[in-house]
Amino acid sequence: MKILQKIALGGGCHWCTEAVFQSLIGVEKVEQGYVASVDVNASFSEAVIVHFNDEVIPLQTLIEIHLHTHKSTSNHSRRNTYRSAVYVFSEEQYQQVLKILEGFQKQFENKLITQVLTFKVFEASRAAIQNYYYTNPQKPFCKQFINPKLELLLQRFSDYTKTAQLNHLKS
């Protein structure tokens, strides 16, 4: 049996982030909630923990998708709530993610602000808002904010999508 890897990702609303990563092959579980790191990043910020099979979807691909599905170059006023970050679980993962981010910088006109942070603690969202998109795909928030991210997945990362889940987006 393959041991799953995990990475925590934050950037935008955790409903959006959850829906993006739930829509990918090789992702076995997405935990939606709040993550805190250490020192100046010890406060909670919206994020997800993604449990994935790296033989199906590599960490590099997950990070590339993450960078393209939130404002990874914008240091807006809500960054305390929506910290652009990859939270790592080991020193080895930290070094790997630093190299991955460095390699993706050339895809962006502006400097990536996504931080690589040590994962410290997670607090799950209340059950009523977990699996938000796939429970409420017709809600205005889902149509306005999540659908465009999922459409980007289909356009740019279709080899990694669970297309049956996303068929409703195809026009």
Q: How far apart (Å, rounded) are the C-alpha atoms in residues 64 and 87?
A: 15
**Annotation marks residue 142 as catalytic:** no
- What's at 46, amino acid-wise? E
Q: How far apart (Å, rounded) are the C-alpha atoms in residues 127 and 114?
A: 28
Helices 14-22 and 59-68, axial angle in degrees (round to 10): 140
Distance from chain centroid for Cα 120: 17
Q: Which of 7, 13, 97, 150 is catalytic?
A: 13
Active site residues: 13
